[in-house]
């Protein structure tokens, strides 16, 4: 199987005529997954656990991955099992080198051209999102950032996390579009009535990314897919055209 092409869509497709709120995941969505920032975050999570619990790195790594599988995020496990204060953890793991993230003026122009409100919604920290978005040159385009703390440490893909985000930012789901690189993170927004867009990563750092390559077609909860976010957003603007977002006219013939 060869995987999905740019802008291939599920049968239950939705358009963007009613979209007035544009919600973007941060990591591996607004910047290329090939930056591989999570590799550094991953190591720093292990280091933090080893130091705080006084255990060897190998056992800290085991706990880190066990908590991720059991609780959905490593942080949730640390909070539930060890009663960790989340803020020192977030501060430490996101204190990473961003030199691999380049400014993205074309992406900035495409986001700016979208009509309506723009939000970043991340399982990471607000400061991390601010740093990355500032490095990309897009921070000024967003109304706000909804981070893990704003959702009281309930993380995507929990439906309650999306409910909290929607209430906090007064989002009408039927008028919102959600962009994310993780397929399971798009199930709750689909259920709420949002239009969903899977941003296919150009670097696989999660089993879910590998599974995407094996699809013959996207699941019903994914309405659009793209491996080029900038191109996709640029294609949304001319809604009077028959061309699909992110695709060329030749692909429609």
Counted residue by residue, the chain has a size of 253
Alpha carbons within 13 A on the beta-carbon side of 247: 19
The pTM (predicted TM-score) of the whole model is 0.85
Supply the pLDDT for residue 217.
74
Task: Give dist(CA 165, CA 179) in Å, integer.
Answer: 14
Give the tens place of pLDDT for each residue, 142-196. 999 999 999 999 999 999 999 999 999 999 999 999 999 999 999 999 999 999 9
What's the DSSP call for residue 202?
Answer: S
pLDDT of residue 208: 60
Residues of the chain with pLDDT under 50: 1-12, 239-243, 246-253
pLDDT for residue 65: 94
**Quick one: pLDDT at residue 15?**
84
* Cα dihedral value 98, 103, 107, 113, nearest 10: 120
Domains located in the chain, CATH noted? 21-35+103-252 (3.40.50.1000), 37-93 (1.10.150.450)
Would you give the DSSP letter of residue 54? T
**Residue 151 has what pLDDT?**
96
């Amino acid at each position: 199987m060869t995987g999905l092409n740019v802008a291939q869509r599920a049968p239950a497709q939705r358009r963007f005529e009613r979209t007035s709120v544009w919600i973007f995941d941060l990591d591996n969505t607004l910047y290329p997954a090939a930056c591989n920032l999570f590799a550094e975050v991953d190591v720093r999570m292990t280091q933090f656990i080893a130091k705080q619990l006084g255990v060897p790195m190998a056992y800290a790594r085991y706990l880190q991955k066990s908590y991720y599988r059991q609780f959905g995020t490593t942080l949730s496990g640390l909070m539930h099992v060890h009663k960790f204060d989340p803020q020192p953890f977030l501060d430490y793991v996101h204190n990473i080198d961003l030199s691999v993230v380049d400014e993205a003026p074309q992406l900035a122009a495409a986001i700016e051209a979208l009509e309506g409100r723009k939000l970043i919604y991340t399982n990471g920290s607000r400061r991390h999102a601010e740093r990355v978005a500032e490095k990309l040159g897009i921070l000024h385009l967003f109304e706000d950032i909804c981070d893990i703390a704003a959702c009281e440490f309930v993380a995507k893909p929990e439906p309650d996390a999306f409910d909290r985000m929607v209430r906090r930012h007064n989002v009408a789901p039927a008028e919102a579009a959600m962009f994310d690189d993780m397929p399971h993170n798009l199930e709750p927004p689909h259920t709420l009535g949002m239009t969903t867009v899977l941003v296919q990563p150009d670097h696989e750092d999660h089993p879910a990314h590998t599974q995407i390559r094996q699809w013959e077609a996207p699941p019903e909860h994914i309405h659009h897919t793209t491996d080029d976010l900038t191109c996709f957003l640029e294609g949304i603007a001319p809604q009077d055209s028959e061309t699909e977002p992110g695709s060329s006219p030749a692909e429609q013939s």
